[in-house]
Structures are given as C-alpha cells and as structure tokens.
C-alpha cells in the first residue's frame, strides 16, 4: 500500500476519503490548510479526524493569502455569505469567483495542492489525495483536466526530489454527495464531527448553499443527519 498525503478540510467529503484510504490499508498523513477561510472551524474537525485515524496531522498556515483571495464570502469579511436561493447564492460547489457568485475562491485548489505536494516531497509520499466529488467537477480548478495538468506540472517541479511515481488521486470523483455519505456511513465516519457551513459559527447555519447541500444529501442517502443546524427547520431523518 502507498504512503499518501490526504488534503483534509474537515468536511464530509475529505474526511470520508481519509477513512476510505485508511480502510484500504494506506499509510496516511493528513494535511489541513488555513487559507484565510472564515469557516476555519473545519480545521478542528480535520485534526479530530487525524486523531481518530491515528494518522500524523500537519497544518499549513497560508492565512496571509486572504488578502489576495479577497472578493469571496469564504475569505473576505466584507462579503456576506448568502442564503441558498438568495440573489447571488450560487451552488456550493462553484469555484470561479464572478460578480453575484460570492461562494467562490478562484485558484484556491492550486494553492492547496501546492502545499500538499511540498509535504509529499519531504515525506517521500507516493500520492496526494484530494477529496473532490462528482458534483464538484466543473470547468476550472475542480476539473479532472486541471488535476491532470497540475500533476504533470508537479512531476516537473519535484523531479529529482519526490517519489518517482508521485501521483494525484481523487478517490471520490465519481461519487455524488449522497453516495459519499452512504460510503461514510458504511465506514462509520462520525458525521457530527465534520464541518460544512460557510459561516463558521457555533453550529451549522442551515441556510447557506453548503448547509442546504449537506442536509439534502443526507435525506437522499437515507442516512440520519446528526448535524445541529441553527435554522428553524429540523435536521433530516433517515428516509
């Protein structure tokens, strides 16, 4: 089995990916990344996942990047996180910041993966694992084309320093959110200790695009949603 640097945000997808890789017998090293996101509570969940998996955990402090990542509700306190369905709310999985779509941080994944590959070099890892799912795949830095191109670039950038077969894998790329939740349920992922909300408050707001996607995916998967939401609507139960 391989030594893998798993980029883990603390959300359902990346934590489930880490549990899946551990179940397959891989040697995991988890990496959390602070890129100035307002919902840094997710990193607490990433650290907790590493402890439960008995895996080393490191956190890259790229928080200073928030200044050049301004204009997104995820990184810029001047931009409100919209409720899903509100003007400019946009889908949770968007990755291109354009006016009216504030939930997007352009080029973020290139930043995160650069940190992961740097760690892969020093740890002599054989792969970097990234937790995108089928609904994430879009035209920009969540596309399979981007991942292929990024790997090609990193194999040049790390030539002579990294593992000769260094790879970039996306184990969940063919799974829908509901299928990721079903997989996590099979792997006994503690969903209550994952974080999704863009607002990063004491509990999930239940209203932003990411919370709505989370809630609906649990319902579609027929899996009990243990999440505490601030919104008045009760958490979904098993279908």
DSSP strands (E only) in 27-95? 27-34, 57-61
Q: Which residue has the higher pLDDT, 90 or 43?
A: 43
Structure-derived torsion over alpha carbons of residues 120, 121, 125, 129, reported in degrees to the nearest 10? 30
For the cut 60, the answer to whether the pLDDT of residue 167 exceeds it is yes
pLDDT of residue 38: 81
Please state, as a whole number, how many other Cβ atoms lie within 10 Å of the Cβ of residue 139.
10
Token pair, residue 207, equals 């209203």
Q: Which residue has the higher pLDDT, 73 or 212?
A: 212
pLDDT of residue 92: 42
The set of residues, in sequence order, having a beta carbon less than 8 Å from that of 122 and lying 6+ positions away, is: none
144, containing H or E segment? helix 144-157
pTM: 0.88
The set of residues, in sequence order, having a beta carbon less than 8 Å from that of 162 and lying 6+ positions away, is: 117, 120, 121, 124, 154, 155
pLDDT of residue 172: 98
Map out the domains of the chain with their CATH numbers.
Answer: 3-79+94-197 (3.40.50.620)
Share of the chain above pLDDT 90, in %: 70
Measure Cα distances from 83 to 53, 111, 233 in Å: 34, 27, 14
């Amino acid at each position: 089995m391989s030594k893998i640097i798993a980029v883990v945000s603390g959300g359902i997808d990346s934590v489930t990916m880490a549990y899946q890789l551990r179940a397959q017998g891989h040697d995991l090293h988890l990496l959390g990344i602070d890129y100035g996101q307002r919902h840094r509570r997710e990193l607490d969940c990433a650290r907790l996942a590493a402890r439960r998996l008995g895996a080393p955990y490191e956190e890259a402090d790229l928080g200073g990047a928030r200044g050049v990542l301004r204009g997104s509700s995820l990184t810029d306190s001047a931009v409100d996180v919209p409720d899903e369905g509100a003007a400019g709310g946009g889908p949770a999985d968007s990755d291109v910041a354009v006016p009216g779509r504030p939930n997007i941080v352009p080029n973020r994944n290139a930043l995160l993966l650069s940190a992961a590959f740097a760690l892969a070099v020093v740890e002599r890892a054989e792969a970097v694992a990234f937790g995108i799912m089928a609904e994430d795949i879009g035209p920009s830095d969540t596309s399979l084309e981007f991942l292929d191109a990024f790997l090609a670039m990193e194999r040049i950038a790390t030539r002579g320093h990294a593992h000769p077969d260094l790879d970039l894998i996306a184990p969940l790329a063919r799974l829908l959110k509901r299928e990721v939740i079903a997989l996590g349920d099979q792997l006994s992922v503690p969903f209550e200790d994952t974080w999704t909300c863009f607002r990063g408050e004491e509990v999930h707001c239940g209203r932003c695009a990411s919370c709505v996607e989370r809630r609906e995916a649990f319902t579609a998967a027929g899996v009990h949603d243990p999440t505490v939401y601030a919104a008045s609507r009760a958490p979904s139960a098993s279908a």
